[in-house]
Amino acid sequence: MVRLSRSDASGSGRAGRFISSPVAAATLGNGLRIRVAPMTHARSVTVSLGFATGSRYESADEQGIAHLVEHMLFKGTARFPTAQVISEAIEGVGGILNAGTEKEMTTYWVKVASEHLELAIDLLADMATAPRLDDDELEKEKKVVLEELGLAQDAPGEWVHQLLSELLWPDQPLGREIAGTEETVMAQTPASLARYLRRTHGLSNAVLVVAGDALPDEVVSLASARLGQASGPSPVWERAHGLGGQPRVVTETRATEQAYLALAGYGLPRGHPDRYALRVLNSILGDGMSSRLFLEVRERRGLTYDIASYLVNFHDTGAMSIAAGVEPERTTEAIEAIIGEITKLRDERVPDAELRKIKAYLRGRTLLSLEDTSSVASWWSSPVLLGHEERTPDEVLDLIDAVHADDVQRIANDLLAPGSFHLAHIGPPIAHDALLRPLMG
């Protein structure tokens, strides 16, 4: 028997708290986890079926298989035999069907008017449990994936982040391109895809999330009927091994109008207790047009059109990264300005007024992001798949509000020490020492 439990996501009821009905949780006998987040104002539902697997779970000769599998699940199933039948089933009722492969999770989702909830669950269930993996379709889809990979390589502002990942986590899954290589993609067969699916897409390794105009009991009933079959094992991942020591630089020479920079130091695993302090620090440094990097490097010095910092977090490691596009002849000056702002975070306590402003910014962005059913589905799916605490938006905002200026400065000194940043560069030729010297702090 499946039992529904409910956690109150409505908060204390004071003005400005997140408004939602309680989130219902259930687990089927085969281990499939279910979360239902009713949104009383919605007329639609987003149904998300996610798996705790991604490119991190690939062997070297499988590189790109997770992404290729994601594509192939759209190419036909037992009950929806072709890509056209699949797309027409959802688009025929005005819905949206999509998916995404990341390094530690893969998610398939449908957004439809709530009267088509059963169709959405039915289709996702068939995609996950009964894909056709047709050989002819696979050969065609390999070419599509390689076109996608080529587009990424042709966009230096995007590809520089891949170079940075390879620099941080060399010769291991976290550092590899999610789409794979031409050699590894072309080597895959229906049999290799089927083996990967058996290893990674067991229902005990999945979570079904429904957000919007939905009744929890109805969702559990539909899931039990379509996703209640026996499940497989959970996959394993390779532990990350970053390189310590002196700053490292990788550069790719291209005749571009701008030089593209991506800098990073190692960050925190996603479950680390200091992750909220790091989130505040990142927002102060480079999240938005009122951040320190934007105001100093762009507005005051005119060194770049666009600059931002961002965080990546994995099971056992992470990174804090900064990306910018600069005039090639001002590359060294821009790196020096970036390092200067990092140094200020280590050496100077964040003023109380700035800290209050950043917390208000994070609160507003969080609440604005949760007005759509797809965003709410993602909120509840990610922690289940990635194995950390399931917290309501209000609980997360309270933890951010509890961050003190001393916490920010401590994290800055722990993670952003002199010489801890590494650099990827794409652009016109530049001396290696010119890129390395500013990183020494």
**In 3D, which of 338, 361, 355 has the Cα closest to residue 421?**
338
pLDDT band at 152; cut points 50, 70, 90? very high
User: What's the chain's average pLDDT?
Assistant: 93
345-386 pLDDT per residue, tens = 999 999 999 999 999 999 999 999 998 999 999 999 999 999
pLDDT for 69 equals: 98
- pLDDT of residue 10 exceeding 60, the answer is no
pLDDT for 117 equals: 98
23-50 pLDDT per residue, tens = 899 999 999 999 999 998 899 999 999 9
**In 3D, which of 177, 171, 311, 180 has the Cα closest to residue 241?**
171
What is the rounded average pLDDT of the residues 175-204?
97
pLDDT for 249 equals: 96
**In 3D, which of 286, 272, 297 has the Cα closest to residue 345?**
286
What is the rounded average pLDDT of the residues 66-72?
98
pLDDT for 22 equals: 67
First and final C-alpha spacing in the chain: 60
- pLDDT of residue 7 exceeding 60, the answer is no
66-70, 237-241, 344-348: segment of lowest average pLDDT: 237-241
What is the rounded average pLDDT of the residues 162-185?
96
- Active site (catalytic) residues: 70
In the chain, the domains with their CATH numbers are 5-227 (3.30.830.10), 249-439 (3.30.830.10)
pLDDT for 5 equals: 63
Q: Tell me what percent of the residues of the chain surpass a pLDDT of 90.
A: 89
401-430 pLDDT per residue, tens = 999 999 999 999 999 999 999 999 999 999
- pLDDT of residue 17 exceeding 80, the answer is no
Give the CA diameter of the chain: 67
- pLDDT of residue 147 exceeding 50, the answer is yes
pLDDT for 20 equals: 45
107-142 pLDDT per residue, tens = 999 999 999 999 999 999 999 999 999 999 999 999
Please give the DSSP secondary-structure letter assigned to residue 144.
H
C-alpha 161: how far from chain center: 14
Compute the distance between CA of residue 70 and CA of residue 50 in angstroms, rounded to an integer.
Answer: 11
Counting DSSP H helices and E strands in the chain, the numbers are 16, 12
pLDDT for 11 equals: 38
Compute the distance between CA of residue 12 and CA of residue 107 in angstroms, rounded to an integer.
Answer: 32
What is the rounded average pLDDT of the residues 165-179?
96
